[in-house]
Amino acid sequence: MSERSGIPGEGLVKGLAVTLKTMTSRSTTQQYPDVAPELPPRSRGVIALLAENCTVCMLCARECPDWCIYIDSHKEEVVVAGAARPRQRNVLDKFDIDFSLCMYCGICVEVCPFDALYWSPEFEYAEYDIKDLLHDKDHLGQWMGTVPPPPAHDHNGEPAKEEATAARKAAAPTSSAARPTVVRPEPGPAADGGTP
């Protein structure tokens, strides 16, 4: 049989010491409803929609593991001056996200090629009825006001691909006079005396 500490009730004394120390220290409880919490800059609260950027490519709905994004659209013809025939474009009719199903993975925000979906740090949108957690495109558009601006580019980091391409195009000579000319030798008789 293993022996415990030689002093009877030592564990009780240590426990009381911890209790007394905690009682005399300042409380770290955040007064949440009265004081807004300081959230990290990349907090995931609610998904906001910029409907003007949405081209109804359906990538977000296809990649969503919970199938909580519902999109509906129709096609419109757009007449372009000088074009042989009118072009068609998709017009967004319905864009709903069911936040009672959403697991906030962020895949929809990442796969959107046209920057139509953004993370907003706003998290106070609880409802009494679960049916009210289905947000339509107007409701999702209202969250755009709470989306923080993107962080500034690190001046010591690599430039974006678009910036590098634009800088290369601006630095490249545009006139044919600035381009080096390549002189090609004239074809002549072959070295063995035969015809070329």
Known binding-site positions for [4Fe-4S] cluster: 54, 57, 60, 64, 102, 105, 108, 112
Q: If we measure between CA atoms, which residue out of 79, 124, 70 comes closest to residue 101?
A: 70
Residue numbers belonging to the annotated binding site: 54, 57, 60, 64, 102, 105, 108, 112
Contacts of 134 (CB under 8 A, 6+ apart): 96, 97, 98, 99, 100
Within a 13 Å sphere around the CA of 61, how many CA atoms are in the beta-carbon half? 14
Q: Label residues 150-189 b or e (16+ Cβ within 10 Å = b).
A: eeeeeeeeeeeeeeeeeeeeeeeeeeeeeeeeeeeeeeee
Q: Label residues 100-137 b or e (16+ Cβ within 10 Å = b).
A: eebeeeeebbeebeeebbbbbbbeeeeeeeeeebbbeb
47 SS3 class: strand
